[in-house]
Amino acid sequence: MKNLTWVQRIATAASEERGYFTAGDFQAAASWATCAVGEFDIPNPLGGPADSRLDQLGRKFTVAVEEDNVPGAARLYRAIARRATVVQRAATARKKPK
């Protein structure tokens, strides 16, 4: 299950054939480097998520995976993706010369 995106992990967990997250999914969700937030690769020199909202969403996502709450994890992943887009755009705007 290594190198799967969270979209793939969630889809597999949601499938009728499986219906749950694996131990590998739990491990991936528990590390900032491999969690849903980390998948968006937003640089943060201090490590961890780039802002407090992503931190909160990432922690909730990890709990959803640990509790085998596949619909909840899918909902939180979408929220993480939306927030990551906002953070990435803001970071890009700050880097542009004026």
State the Cα–Cα distance between residues 37 and 94, nearest whole angstrom: 21
Helix %, strand %, coil % for the chain, to 5?
Answer: 60, 0, 40
State the Cα–Cα distance between residues 97 and 50, nearest whole angstrom: 22
Q: Does residue 42 contact residue 36 with C-beta atoms inside 8 Å?
A: no
Region 7-22: mean pLDDT is 92
Give the angle subtended at the CA of 69 by the CAs of 83 and 48, to the nearest 5°.
40
The angle, 0 to 180 degrees and rounded to 10, between the axes of the packed helices 6-14 and 70-95 is: 170
Residue 74 has pLDDT above 90, yes or no: yes
pLDDT given for residue 98 in this prediction: 59
- State pTM to two decimals: 0.85
